[in-house]
Structure 1
Amino acid sequence: MTTALFHPDVDTRPWGRLREQQLADVAPLLARLRGADAWREKLAGAPAGAAHENDLLEIPFTTKADLRGAQAETTAEQPLGTLQVADTVDLRQITSSSGTTGTPVFFGLTEYDLERWRRLIGNAYRTAGVHPGTRVAHTTGMAIVAGGLPYADGIREAGGALAWIGGQTVPRMAVGMQRTHADVLVATASFSAHFAKRCEEELNMPATALGVHTVIAGGEPGVGVPHIRQGILDAWGATRVSEFMGLGDVLPAMWAECEQGDGMHFTASPDVLVELIDPATGAHVPWEPGATGEAVYTTLTREASPVLRFRSRDQMQVQTVDCACGRTSPTVRCVGRTDDMLIFKAMNVYPSAIREVVLAAASAHLTGTMRIRKDTADQVRFDDPIPLEVELRSGTARDAAQRALDEAAEQVRQQLRVRVSIEPQQPGVIPVSDYKNALTYVAG
């Protein structure tokens, strides 16, 4: 068993026994929620508790639209909207979603919530490779979002020395990496590769010389793709890439990859209950290797702004149910979001799946940065080949890459049964943010 466990009494508890405990915690949560008018109305007809996992199916979902609707009109007495449960006087912090997929939603934390967030996010970071003695470069520039101050708190809780270099120009961030001798980098998958290139440009030395041994990458799917993972390892000369994932709506960090590198463990127990469901039918999907479903979350202990059976739209694939690190939760990969689903003629496809196939065929010529161009924000259907912009590696000519790109387009057709029109771009044409980067964008 690994010596890095931060929450061993929970992390090594048999998954079935932990689920039983969490189900017992559903009844007091429902009773507390029924103390608020909006929740009482939403829960009309719902059971008083959940003796068995299938009892959860009788409890209504919470969606992002529900949260936005609850905050359509707010007051000084209820700044978090009608689904706010704690008294405003008890709030100690307000965080925000990134707004990547629409209007930002705000969430409150009481003193107890803050304490639990620090503990649980710290557990995620310990799982991902942060421990006393590590110096952690945190690249997010916005403190209010889930990946800002909450991540900073979690890094410190895990024992790492926080070097919050985000929010500055890239040259200053590069100098920060060098001066602090950071050996752990926290960034999105796309920014970690982009930042390595900029470090070399600004410091006149390769990023491999900076001494980073662990890259913790999250905020967007992709770190589980072998070619993206290898690209990050090569760019930094690192020995480990740890995938990391959470939601501000629920908990900013709930999934983290251990040193075994075979998917992300669930690190938010016992405070958060996660279900895996069939997104079409709502039925439960068993936690078995190879199973795929949508993650649904319930915050069992959150006081200020809890969510109940929150539909994340994140599609997870179970990797293992038995890990050599000693943690007993299943490991998963995020394979895409139902919000991102596209339709080419009669075939559904995730942008992340297209990216994975293209990189498998043409990674020698590509950086991994790419995006699908849409005519309108709500476009889902494509009758013509899907326009896919890809970034060429520095010094790679279009003609030299064309054969590989043609093969990549053919592999997408064969494996995913959709057609793409691949458009190679020179480095820097496709913008890369230090926070979340969408795989689709609207032209113009």
Structure 2
Amino acid sequence: MIWNTNKECMSREQMRELQGKRLQKLVTYVYHNVPFYRSRMQEMDLSPDDIRTIDDIVKLPFTTKQDLRDNYPYGLQAAPPSEIVRVHASSGTTGNPTIVGYTRRDLSIWSEVMSRCLSAYGVTRDDTFSVSYGYGLFTGGLGAHYGVENLGATVIPASTGNTEKHVRLIRDLHITGIACTPSYALYLAEVVEKMGIKKEELGLRIGAFGAEPWTENMRQEIQERLGLKGYNIYGLSEIMGPGVSYECQEQHGSHINEDHFFPEIIDPETLEPLPYGKTGELVFTTLTKEGMPLLRYRTKDLTSLMDGECPCGRTNVRMTPIMGRSDDMLIIRGINVFPSQVESVILGMKEFEPQYLLVVDRVNNLDTLQVQVEVRKDFFTDDMGAMLNLKKTLSDKLKSVLSISADVKLMEPNSIVRSQGKSKRVWDKRVLV
């Protein structure tokens, strides 16, 4: 089902014309209402009149997370305080949080784009949907919540925690859909199995998973253990929250709501734009946001863009799965390593649970990488020879993918701490030195 055919199936010419008009209006708006952007544009000898089409976006300055922190709390807010009806903040743990204000129109647009996402997954008014992202300053919970309500389905604001009670609610209330992080979905599956409940008793059919990178192998694991079809949802609090892009039932790239969020891919080193199909850093401009609009915001997420009409009928540009973050990328002995690469190898082996931790250290001026991974109960044994063979098999596969050697440490079942929110997959001890 397509929620908004006019916008999701618009021709490329119509979309670019709409984006150009909205960009012109946006630039004039921030120039007159945000001193930060006015100063940046004046330094570049730019005026709003210089922006006439969407192609002119490359003339505009970039915005970074540091810019938001430097202007904490409300320095980048464009709307007057009297028009801000809600405030969210990023889930970051270092420095000032990024404070994002929303006008009533912003919230209406957010509900609209979330309804597009849910419709693409096959959610209808007849579904009951559990929102298991955190409620509060994090955008996930409330963003998904109002999208479900706007679509007309029943929402269960479960949030996180008390997972056994949540499982009983899923069964007893005939909940058909769930929105949460992929790592929480796996934890939920573990609890279901420990409670002796069969996945068929739950009746789940749709999962909206996001807020952290996940692999295709992880998707298959979740789908098999919970008996649902899992879809990617993407967003970030600085831009709006969940609903910036979404998979359809084709599951071949995530459609970007580009009438509201204009995407670019840039080389993170040179900052030069990259063409469709090339992997680089994702950049967004919020074309319609009133509270805190952003020009060319550098997300640090690494992906590529796909053009062409999708078999589902939508024409919006799609983005490939996030392969990592340019600022979270590990450089180990000169090699670029992404946690998603390690995860893909681990989930491709039936002997392991999807629970792992990368420990990076520096010993005698040499970087080291240890991969701690949990062995499934059925494969964990006192047979030292069997465990050594399993360790060697994983080590060899990791080396072929990463191009560096990793010290594999096999962990007992249930020994790695579970996450009910964003998972912590990397411990880089080098930054503590």
Fold-level similarity (TM above 0.5): yes
Pair 1:164-2:165 in alignment = no
Pair 1:312-2:299 in alignment = yes
Residue by residue, what CA displacement relative to the aligned partner does 1:296-335 show, whole Å, maximum 9, x if unpaired?
0111111111111000011113466331100112332111
Aligned to 1:65: 66
Give yes or no for contact 1:199–1:206 (8 Å, CA) kept in 2.
yes
Of 198, 201, 213, 1:206 maps to 198
Give yes or no for contact 1:141–1:168 (8 Å, CA) kept in 2.
no
Of 333, 339, 350, 1:345 maps to 333
Secondary structure at the residue paired with 1:437?
Answer: coil
- AA aligned opposite 2:135: M
1:262 is displaced (CA, Å) by: 1.5
Give yes or no for contact 2:170–2:202 (8 Å, CA) kept in 1.
yes
1:31 is displaced (CA, Å) by: 1.3
Aligned to 2:90: 97
Give the Cα–Cα distance (whole angstroms) in 1 for the partners of residues 106 and 129 of structure 2.
24
Once structures 1 and 2 are overlaid, which stretch shifts more, 130-139 or 11-20? Answer: 11-20
Once structures 1 and 2 are overlaid, which stretch shifts more, 323-332 or 407-416? Answer: 407-416
Moved over 6 A (4+): none
Give yes or no for contact 2:161–2:420 (8 Å, CA) kept in 1.
no
1:236 is displaced (CA, Å) by: 0.6
Normalized against structure 1, the TM-score is what? Answer: 0.88
Residue by residue, what CA displacement relative to the aligned partner does 1:196-253 show, whole Å, maximum 9, x if unpaired?
1112324x3133431111222111111xx23211111111122x21111100100212
Aligned to 1:24: 21
Give the Cα–Cα distance (whole angstroms) in 2 for the partners of residues 395 and 351 of structure 1.
25
Give yes or no for contact 2:24–2:53 (8 Å, CA) kept in 1.
no
- AA aligned opposite 2:270: T
Aligned to 2:237: 248
1:86 is displaced (CA, Å) by: 0.9
Give yes or no for contact 1:287–1:330 (8 Å, CA) kept in 2.
no
Pair 1:85-2:85 in alignment = no
Change (3 A) 1:231 1:31: same
Residue by residue, what CA displacement relative to the aligned partner does 1:46-89 show, whole Å, maximum 9, x if unpaired?
35243455532221111111111111xxxxxxxx4211111111
Secondary structure at the residue paired with 1:132?
Answer: coil
Pair 1:387-2:370 in alignment = yes
Over aligned residues, Cα RMSD in angstroms? 2.3
Once structures 1 and 2 are overlaid, which stretch shifts more, 312-321 or 340-349? Answer: 312-321
Change (3 A) 1:24 1:319: closer
Aligned to 2:121: 128
1:388 is displaced (CA, Å) by: 1.5
Q: In the TM superposition, what are the counterparts of 1:146-185 in structure 2 within 5 Å?
A: 146-185=139-178
Normalized against structure 2, the TM-score is what? Answer: 0.90
Change (3 A) 1:32 1:404: same
1:129 is displaced (CA, Å) by: 3.0
Give the Cα–Cα distance (whole angstroms) in 2 for the partners of residues 330 and 403 of structure 1.
45
- Which blocks of at least 5 consecutive residues in structure 2 are unaligned? none
Secondary structure at the residue paired with 1:333?
Answer: coil
Give the Cα–Cα distance (whole angstroms) in 2 for the partners of residues 324 and 57 of structure 1.
31
Give the Cα–Cα distance (whole angstroms) in 2 for the partners of residues 52 and 32 of structure 1.
16
Pair 1:298-2:285 in alignment = yes
Q: How many residues align?
A: 420
Give yes or no for contact 2:282–2:303 (8 Å, CA) kept in 1.
yes
Give the Cα–Cα distance (whole angstroms) in 2 for the partners of residues 123 and 271 of structure 1.
13
Percent same amino acid among aligned pairs?
25
